[in-house]
Amino acid sequence: MQKYECPCGYVYDPELGDPDNGVAPGTAWEDVPEDWTCPTCGLDKDSFSEI
């Protein structure tokens, strides 16, 4: 699965999700809610880049 990186360095890994912020493990990037933000710096989903 494709991973996505925030400019701050946080990497969203779909296999891990972000369960502390309501995104279950196995959640594809397209299925992450649009209002989800980086748990490290708070930037929105549009700030992330594919890696």
Tell me the three state secondary structure of residue 15. coil
Rounded Cα distance, 36 and 14, in Å: 14
Rounded Cα distance, 23 and 31, in Å: 9
Place of tokens 């700030």: 47
pLDDT value at residue 27: 98
Tell me: pLDDT of 1 over 90: no
pLDDT value at residue 47: 98
pLDDT tens readout for residues 4-49 = 999 999 999 999 999 999 999 999 999 999 999 999 999 999 999 9
* C-beta atoms surrounding 14 within 10 Å: 19
Rounded Cα distance, 28 and 30, in Å: 5
pLDDT value at residue 12: 98
